Amino acid sequence: MTVRWSDLAWPDLKERLRAETVVFVPCGAIEQHGPHLPLEVDAFIARALSEAVATEVGGLVVPTLSYGYRSMPKSGGGPGFPGTLNLQGATLADLLRDVLLELARHGVRRVCVIDAHYENQWMLTEGIEQAIRLPAAAEMRVMRLEYWDFVTDELLAQIFPDGFPGIALEHAAVLETSLMMHLDPARVRVDRIPDNPPAEFPPYDIFPAAPDWVPSTGALTSAKAATAEKGELLFAHYVTAIAAAVRREFPAAGPSG
């Protein structure tokens, strides 16, 4: 049975919506992810995780907010590569606010926003805050999470036996490449997987963005250690951990963990 809101006809959606139903809002970006991964990696991973967790807890998933807040050199490679499509911060905040208000109009009271684009998080927070301060969404409770925060030190030690470079430098590197190798291997150009050393950034930003700060591949560190097996391990862990968090915050959601 599908968990996709947009796959359902309205009578079926009406039947599926209950007071305790958790509705998931995947949020990503259209952003360069090195020479080996598609531009929609963030949106794709957010959608895949949302659908898997929704299946675990009996939830529904609305269409992905695929455009994200502007890519920054020190975490996403910045605007110097073809294909990245940025939103202004206010646009993203307004978009999420409006989606939440529409969900509230349908009687939804429990929402989980799953973010897969590093730069989005504060803009999404602003959209949530704007929505829940309005009378229409006064009864709504919203979780917002970045999936990588659920990884444990023990799992990182398995994935990175030589040391974890840090989540910001993991753009288009081992974590995302491994997840894509597991979820959609046909779209990973294994012949192009980059092996550049970690980028080194100064302790400040500069505007306009300095393109020479970013490795020419667009990956902020090597992705050579990525494997589908690591991706399978990561994905299973994320789904289990996020589902447990959703059940903790929304106790009637799905089977007990």
pLDDT reading at 252 higher than 80: no
Annotated catalytic sites, by residue?
31, 33, 42, 117, 119, 171, 176
Tell me the one-letter amino acid at 8.
Answer: L
Class of domain 5-249 (CATH, top level): alpha beta
Q: What percent of the chain is modeled with pLDDT above 70?
A: 98
Is residue 50 scored above 60 in pLDDT?
A: yes
**Residue percentage of the chain with pLDDT more than 90:** 94
State the pLDDT at residue 79.
87
CB contact set of 195 (below 8 Å; sequence gap of 6+): 222, 223, 224
* Average pLDDT of the segment spanning 136-156: 97
Q: Phi/psi class of residue 218: alpha, beta or left (left: φ > 0; alpha: ψ in -120 to 50)?
A: left
The mean of the pLDDT values for the chain is 96
Average pLDDT of the residues in 237-250: 98
Residue 255, pLDDT > 70, answer no
Residue 19, pLDDT above cutoff 90: no
Say what the pTM is: 0.96
* Omega of the bond leading into 208 within 30 degrees of 0 (cis): yes
pLDDT score for 132 = 98
Q: What is the mean pLDDT of residues 191-213?
A: 94
